Amino acid sequence: MSLLDMIQNSGQQMLPDHYKSIPVQEMETRVRKIKESLGSKVFIPGHHYQKDEVIQFADVTGDSLQLAQVSAKNSKAEYIVFCGVHFMAETADILTGDGQKVILPDMRAGCSMADMANIDQTERGWEEMQQAVGDTIIPLTYVNSTAAIKSFVGKNGGATVTSSNAKKMLEWAFTQKERILFLPDQHLGRNTAYDLGIPLDQMAVWDPILERFEYDGDLDKIRVILWKGHCSVHENFTIGNVEDIRTSDPEVNIIVHPECSREVVALSDYAGSTKYIIEKISNAEPGTKWAVGTEMNLVNRLTKQHSDKKVFSLNPQMCPCLTMNRIDLPHLLWTMETIEKGDVLNQIKVDSEISKWAKVALERMLERV
Ligand code: 13P
Ligand code: SF4
């Protein structure tokens, strides 16, 4: 089921109009007051790609892995108001207790990459792959995927990965089987496998729409099957952007997220997860210059936090992730006021059978990082 279908079937409620005209300062004061009065009953995790207007209220900020870890540890909060996107809130629901309610302030906060792989396509593709190369494949899925796909992966002996542990997880997967199916981000899969020394001609792409492999040479030699999906934010960083920086100022360090294409990663100075990018820039010498290939809310925050360095986007035309931006101050206030009244809106509840196997896939990852 696509995110749009889920939204249409979920009975989700839309933000009442009057929230759109409340002055910002008043919204901030109201959120702060409710948060104080609810205390530890409410927990707000916030992904680094969220807007500042929301991040200021987060109890903890982090990348996908950190937020999965803190969600798994928090057994106290009755309400987890997840400031991130749909797949992250599903993960939080899977990893938290039955009595805890995970809420996504706006159900339209999906992820275009996660939408590029659905469970029907995955099951059909898996069958084709088994026919082509037999029982030689272990599936790994980036956490940026639906709970149903995580569940499929768990059932078939595989695990989830995040951008900060992908290398470790691929190494583990190769101890289990000869080949890996990596969903749904071909770039993270390709960049990570390449770093592990797997040549590009030993990687094939699986096209879920045309239901066929794309590769050169011999299928028997293929060790990594990359699902044909990508992040619509990170694919906007191009070779042209890198060349422009190199020409205009050779002193600039170029650092990118591994959701960028192989070509962009290869031409950059550094590549790594959101956490890696934050740490690298934080630890850099004053006066250094950084062109950053990742989501714009984070780049803007790094620019503000490091005024002793020059930090800017690798692509001067870059926009924030539109679905991350769905979570804004009016939606956060609406969510908090609803909780204050004892109601729950936009709860993310993963089906128990799906949750059982998705948890297996997540735990295989969490016990290794
Ligand atoms: P990380 O948080 O793992 O760096 O992933 C980035 C991302 O695109 C989240 O949607
Ligand atoms: Fe999805 Fe990319 Fe947005 Fe992350 S940045 S939520 S991967 S579209």
Q: Is residue 90 part of a domain?
A: yes
Q: Are residues 64 and 78 in the same domain?
A: yes
Q: Are residues 135 and 79 in the same domain?
A: no
pLDDT at 217: 87
Q: Is residue 142 part of a domain?
A: yes
**Contact yes or no for 103/65 (Cβ under 8 A):** no
In this model, does residue 1 exceed pLDDT 60? no
Give the separation between CA 350 and CA 87, rounded to whole angstroms.
10
In this model, does residue 6 exceed pLDDT 80? no
Q: What CATH number is associated with residue 276?
A: 3.40.50.10800
In this model, does residue 93 exceed pLDDT 90? yes
For residue 67, the ligand 1 atom closest to its alpha carbon is 2
Give the separation between CA 181 and CA 238, rounded to whole angstroms.
26
- How sure is the predictor about 319, in pLDDT bands with cuts at 50, 70 and 90? very high
Q: Are residues 292 and 341 in the same domain?
A: no
Tokens of 42: 């409410």
pLDDT at 71: 86
In this model, does residue 262 exceed pLDDT 60? yes
Q: Is residue 195 part of a domain?
A: yes
Which residues share a beta bridge with 140?
A: 159, 182
Q: Is residue 98 part of a domain?
A: yes
Q: Is 144 in the pocket of ligand 1 (CB under 6 A)?
A: yes
Which protein residue's CA is at the shortest distance from atom 1 of ligand 2? 111
The whole domain housing 135 covers 114-231
pLDDT, tens digit (0-9, with 9 covering 90-100), for 15-70: 999 999 999 999 999 999 999 999 999 999 999 999 999 999 999 999 988 998 99
- Side-chain half-sphere CA neighbours of 344 within 13 A: 14
- How sure is the predictor about 8, in pLDDT bands with cuts at 50, 70 and 90? low
Q: Is residue 357 part of a domain?
A: no
Q: Are residues 120 and 220 in the same domain?
A: yes
Q: 8 Cβ partners below 8 Å, 6+ apart?
A: none
Q: Are residues 175 and 135 in the same domain?
A: yes
Tokens of 141: 């899925």
DSSP state of 342: T
Task: Indicate the number of domains in the chain.
Answer: 3
Q: Is residue 366 part of a domain?
A: no
pLDDT, tens digit (0-9, with 9 covering 90-100), for 225-261: 999 999 999 999 999 999 999 999 999 999 999 999 9
Task: Give the pLDDT mean for 83-94.
Answer: 97
pLDDT, tens digit (0-9, with 9 covering 90-100), for 99-142: 999 999 999 999 999 999 999 999 999 999 999 999 999 999 99
- How sure is the predictor about 72, in pLDDT bands with cuts at 50, 70 and 90? confident
Neighbours of 110 (CB within 10 A): 23
Q: What predicted TM-score, i.e. pTM, was given to this entire model?
A: 0.95
pLDDT at 68: 86
Give the separation between CA 210 and CA 204, rounded to whole angstroms.
14
Q: Are residues 78 and 65 in the same domain?
A: yes
Q: What percent of the chain has pLDDT over 70?
A: 97
Q: Are residues 241 and 224 in the same domain?
A: no
Q: Is 3 in the pocket of ligand 2 (CB under 6 A)?
A: no
Give the separation between CA 95 and CA 355, rounded to whole angstroms.
9
Pick from 231, 264, 292: which residue ends a domain? 231
For residue 163, the ligand 1 atom closest to its alpha carbon is 3
Q: Is residue 361 part of a domain?
A: no
Q: 113 Cβ partners below 8 Å, 6+ apart?
A: 142, 144, 184, 185, 229, 230, 231, 232, 259
Q: Is 111 in the pocket of ligand 2 (CB under 6 A)?
A: yes
Q: Is 145 in the pocket of ligand 1 (CB under 6 A)?
A: no
Q: Is 260 in the pocket of ligand 2 (CB under 6 A)?
A: no
In this model, does residue 78 exceed pLDDT 70? yes
Q: Residue 276: is it exposed, middle or buried by C-beta count within 10 angstroms (0-12/13-18/19+)? A: middle
Q: Is residue 365 part of a domain?
A: no
**Contact yes or no for 158/139 (Cβ under 8 A):** yes
The pLDDT mean for the chain works out to: 95
Give the separation between CA 340 and CA 199, rounded to whole angstroms.
55
pLDDT at 177: 98
Tokens of 15: 């933000």
Give the separation between CA 365 and CA 140, rounded to whole angstroms.
10
pLDDT at 311: 98
CA 342 / ligand 1 centre spacing (Å): 32
